[in-house]
Amino acid sequence: MITQYFAQPVMSKDQKLLGVEILTRFQKDGQNLLRPTPTEIILGWTIHEKRAYLVDVIHFIINSEAFFIVNKLFCSLSIDSSTALILKHDAYIKILTQSMPYLKLLINERLSNPVLKSLSNSNNALFLNYLGVGNVNIQTGVSTMFEVVKIDETFFGTQLYRNSFPVLLKDIMKYCPRIIVSCVFDTKLLQYLKEWGVWGVQGELYESVPLQDVSFFI
C-alpha cells in the first residue's frame, strides 16, 4: 500500500491562499482505496504505526517549510486522541513540531481530553474540526483555546438557508473569530460568507495538489 499526501487549499473570501489542510490517501495496485477510508485505515493502526505515520508526514511538510514561512501560511494536520498522545510524549516528534509554529493541529473532538488540552499550550495552535456533528456541540464545543473553527459540511448544508445561520456564526465568533466553511461549491456563496464574516473557505472550487507541489498555489 502506498501513502500519498495532498494539500487542500483554504482560501479567503477574496480568493487569497490562507493555508492548506493535509489529506492522506492510500493506493493499492495503482488505484486509490475508497474503502476502507483513510480515516478508517489510520484508526486501525497500532500506536507504533501511527508514530511512523506522524514522522513521515511531518518530514514531508518540513520539505515545504520555506513555502509556508515565506508566504505566512498555515498547514493543518488532523489528529485523534492516540496521535495526540504521541505528539505530547514522543521527544523526537515534539522537537520537530515545536519548531513548526505554522503547523496547526486539527482535532475532531472536544477539548475535554486532557491530552488534547495540554496541546493547546504548545507552539502549534489548535483547529476544531467538524463543528456541528457528533460529539462536537455548537453550544459547548467552541473554546477560546481554538485558533480556528471548521464547520462540518453536512451541518453547513442543512443550515445555510436558514435565517438563524448568520446569527449562529456570530455566536461562534464570540469565542473564535476565525471560521472555515469546508464545502463551498458555488462562487455565489462567497458573497454571503463574506457578509457573514467567515474567514476561510474550502470545497470543490479549489482542487488539492500533491503536497510536494504545494508551491503551485502561489
- pLDDT, tens digit, 9 for 90 and up, residues 170-183: 988 988 899 999 88
The DSSP line for 63-115 is HTHHHHHHTT-EEEEEE-HHHHHHHHH-HHHHHHHHT-TTEEEEESS-TTSHH
**pLDDT exceeds cutoff 90 at 80:** no
CB 88 within 8 A of CB 120: no
CB 105 within 8 A of CB 129: no
CB 159 within 8 A of CB 165: yes
**pLDDT exceeds cutoff 80 at 130:** no
pTM across the whole model: 0.90
Listed in sequence order, the residues at least 6 apart from 160 whose beta carbon sits closer than 8 Å to its beta carbon are 189
Helix (H) / strand (E) containing 59: helix 47-63
**pLDDT exceeds cutoff 60 at 190:** yes
Q: In residues, how long is the chain?
A: 218
Considering 29-33, 55-59, 86-90, 109-113, the range whose residues carry the highest mean pLDDT is: 55-59
Compute the distance between CA of residue 184 and CA of residue 71 in angstroms, rounded to an integer. Answer: 24
Give the CATH number of the domain where residue 180 resides: 3.20.20.450
Listed in sequence order, the residues at least 6 apart from 3 whose beta carbon sits closer than 8 Å to its beta carbon are 24, 25, 26, 53, 56
Confidence of residue 140 (pLDDT cuts 50, 70, 90): very low
Listed in sequence order, the residues at least 6 apart from 54 whose beta carbon sits closer than 8 Å to its beta carbon are 83, 86, 87, 90, 93
CB 192: neighbour CB atoms within 10 A?
16
Domain span holding position 156? 2-217
Helix (H) / strand (E) containing 129: strand 126-131
Confidence of residue 143 (pLDDT cuts 50, 70, 90): low
CB 76 within 8 A of CB 114: no
Q: How many domains does the chain have?
A: 1
The letter for the amino acid at 29 is: D
Residue 114 preceded by cis peptide, ω within 30: no
**pLDDT exceeds cutoff 60 at 187:** yes
